[in-house]
Amino acid sequence: MKASTAKSFNKKLACPSSNLLLSFQRRALAPEINLLVKHHLAGCDFCYCEVPLLAFYALPLRGECRTPDLPINLRVLAESILGKDNSEEVPEPHFQR
């Protein structure tokens, strides 16, 4: 079996942030920054593919950023692992002096 010579497909340290790419996609960058992003996209397959995906991103509405509730089965599991299940609470020992 021959080893693959494909380049790794991931974001690098030199890549612009997703927020910057989102601004690029929305045409909200200064011309100088826009030119730098275009130059980066010409050589970075990952960022080049990320830009069209960002077209589907919708900013959350005000008050819409609520943390979702933890599913009950996951909560029970976490509590059992952490020992916080109230039904199996172990009383603390009382020491006499």
- Between 10 and 39, the higher pLDDT residue: 39
| pLDDT, mean of residues 16-40 | 95
User: Does residue 16 fall inside a structural domain?
Assistant: yes
Angle between helices 31-43 and 18-25 (to 10 degrees): 110
User: Does residue 65 fall inside a structural domain?
Assistant: no
Mean pLDDT, all residues of the chain: 81
pLDDT, tens digit (0-9, with 9 covering 90-100), for 51-89: 999 988 887 777 766 677 778 888 888 888 888 645 555
- B/e letters for 57-81, b = 16+ CB within 10 Å, e = fewer, are eeeeeeeeeeeeeeeeeeeeeeeee
What whole-number distance in Å separates Cα of residue 45 and Cα of residue 43? 6
Residue 39 belongs to what domain range? 12-58
User: Does residue 45 fall inside a structural domain?
Assistant: yes
Task: Find tokens 């008050």 and name the residue.
Answer: 63
How crowded is residue 92: how many other Cβ atoms within 10 Å of its Cβ? 6
Give me 8's structure tokens.
């790794």
